[in-house]
Chains A and B, each alone.
Chain A
Amino acid sequence: MMSTGLNDNELISRVLSGDQQSYAGLVSRYQNYVFTIALRMVKNREDAEEVAQDAFIKAYRYLADFKGASKFSTWLYTIVNNTAISFLRKKKVEIHSLDNEKVFEVADSKDSGMGANLIEQKSKLSMVNDAIAMLNPDDAQIITLFYKAEQSLEETAQILGIEVNAAKVRLYRARTRLKEKMETYFAEEVKNLN
């Protein structure tokens, strides 16, 4: 994750003192994190890239407002989240959970598009990603933060603006629903992995 030897606060100080190029260090360090969060919300790579880019631009413009009281990733999450919500509002895309019909459509398109043999070859990683993509945005977000962004439960709760116990409950429910999705739509792959 580290692209330079400097930590986040050192890079931020440099950017604030006029060294714009140091911002590239922060971008390359957090691009996957920001892109994944955006992707969980907008469900489309092109849109996610646009949202991620906008989020980094906003973060740069308001960098002077980052107090350092929380982690840079926490502050960045708030920006990405707000940017994605604005983007979805503009596009008038339904941001709430996929209904069952849509979930079946997603699963069907995956099946018919790739064929049984190809599905069998699907890697463990892409299967997890596909299952996460089928979850509602709230569930996908907490799983992404806890597992992929490797935030602690306390940090995840802080990022989401909820109590630690509420985060624990939400994470438990999200994992249960993820497990259900994996068992329903990727039963074959799960069996092959065992």
Chain B
Amino acid sequence: MQTQQNIEERLWSFIDGTATAAEKTVIEKLIGSDAAWKMKYHELLEVNEMLRSSELDEPSLRFTKNVMEEIAKFHIAPAAKSYINKKIIWGIGFFFIAMLVGFLIYGFGQMVFEPSGQESEISKTVSKVDFSKFFNNTWVNGLMLVNVVLGLFLLDNYLSNKRKHYRKEA
């Protein structure tokens, strides 16, 4: 049994032209044979035509003139790309990627892959590297902390955007 909502949804897809060819054929048949579908189709078609025939609202007659008078006081700002230094962006990106790769190598180096507990050649080589030389610097530690804070900000931003999106959908 088709619900009223389902019928309307399928009919709107048909009217908007977004229904698939197979779906279109099925709906055409239903409109031709089922009185309820036919009635609903004509009802929605009428609403659609009414909306299609409606026009945009118009501002006052002086609108364009007013805008042109206002913009005469302004200059076009240079494009953002002309004053954003791409080298700095790339530098920041490179730093974060280098940090990530470093952490991954260090992490994998600490793992024991052999069930017997024997160290692999890779882990032996990695374990020879003295990481304390690289990670004892105050600046590096500070930047790592900034990295973590930025990561949390991004996560928070992502989650709040998702929340907003779901709220809007609801």
Contacts and interface: CB of A to CB of B under 8 A. Distances in A.
Contacts of B59: 31-32, 35, 45, 48-49, 52
Contact of A23 (B47, B56, B71, B80): B71
Contact residues on B (Cβ < 8 Å of other chain), bracket? 35 or more
B28 to A, nearest CB: 20
Contact of A148 (B56, B60, B75, B80): B56
Contact of B72 (A20, A45, A132, A182): A20
**Do most interface residues of chain A lie in helix, strand or loop, or is the interface mixed?**
helix
Given A15-B76, A53-B66, A128-B51, A168 B58 contact: no
A64 interface: yes
B67 A27 contact: yes
A99 to B, nearest CB: 17
Nearest to A39: B57
B54 A128 contact: yes
A184 B76 CA distance: 49
A77 to B, nearest CB: 13
Contacts of A182: 47
Contacts of B68: 20-21, 23-24, 27
B34 interface: no
Interface string B48-88: 00111111111110011011101110111111101000000
A72 interface: no
A20 B47 CA distance: 42
